[in-house]
Amino acid sequence: MANYDGLRYRVLRMKRLMISFGVFALLASLLSSCTTDGGAPSDAPQGGSTSTVGAMPKVTGNAGEEATISTPEGNPPTELYTEDVIEGTGAEAVADSTLTVQYTLMAWSSGQVVESSWASSGPATFPLSGVILGWQQGIPGMKEGGRRLLVIPPGLAYGEAGAGGAIGPNETLIFVVDLIKVN
């Protein structure tokens, strides 16, 4: 009887260990699949969309001349994208600056130029604080003589309302900005 009780005790103990090990393995598996970034793949921005962002437009052209913008491909980014195409050397734009710029605006969805100060009225002058958020966030730090590409998601542009005409609701905007003067 003592051998039977000892054997039964060892079997029960072994079962408990196996169950404990199984629960531990299950918990370890579940916890290893948890993330703190909303489930985004490790190469995606935290909390951002997991859809693949298309190729950013390429900007060509010489300083002092209208830029050429390639047609964007694929899905637009969901966050502001900036790229200095030409580094400026003059005064730096800050949040409360008044700027004189030349610009070209393209709609991501159509790949068509919507507006260009180069082709119409010439340089535009305005306070940075008076334009869309994409400019307010994307221009500071730019220097006179520079050219910057801004790809602005709808939430930092005209959003669901759009701006009429070629800038429809939820349009991603592509600007190429040449900074002429900072005041």
Per-position DSSP letters for 133-145, written without gaps between them: HHHHHHSTT-BTT
Give percent above pLDDT 90 in the chain.
68
Task: Transcribe 53-106 into DSSP letters.
Answer: B-PPPPEE--TTS--EEPPP-SBPPSS-EEEEEE---SPBP-TT-EEEEEEEEE
Q: Which residue type occupies 181?
A: K
CATH number at residue 174: 3.10.50.40
| Structural domain includes residue 52 | no
**Which phi and psi (to 5°) does residue 136 adopt?**
-60, -35
d(C-alpha 40, C-alpha 82), whole Å:
22
Q: Tell whether the model's pLDDT for residue 32 goes beyond 80.
A: no
Q: Tell whether the model's pLDDT for residue 47 goes beyond 60.
A: no
pLDDT at residue 164, rounded to an integer:
86
| Structural domain includes residue 40 | no
Q: At 96, is the pLDDT very low, low, confident or very high (cuts 50, 70, 90)? A: very high
Q: What angle do CA 57, 62, 63 make, to 5 degrees?
A: 105
pLDDT at residue 16, rounded to an integer:
55
The number of domains in the chain is 1
| Structural domain includes residue 117 | yes
Predicted TM-score (pTM) of this structure: 0.72
Cα dihedral 82, 90, 114, 159, rounded to 10, equals: 50
Range of the domain at 108: 59-182
pLDDT at residue 33, rounded to an integer:
39
| Structural domain includes residue 3 | no
104 contacts 112 by C-beta, under 8 angstroms:
no
pLDDT at residue 43, rounded to an integer:
41
Q: At 178, is the pLDDT very low, low, confident or very high (cuts 50, 70, 90)? A: very high
Q: Please, what is the average pLDDT of the chain?
A: 82
Give percent above pLDDT 70 in the chain.
72
| Structural domain includes residue 26 | no
| Structural domain includes residue 88 | yes
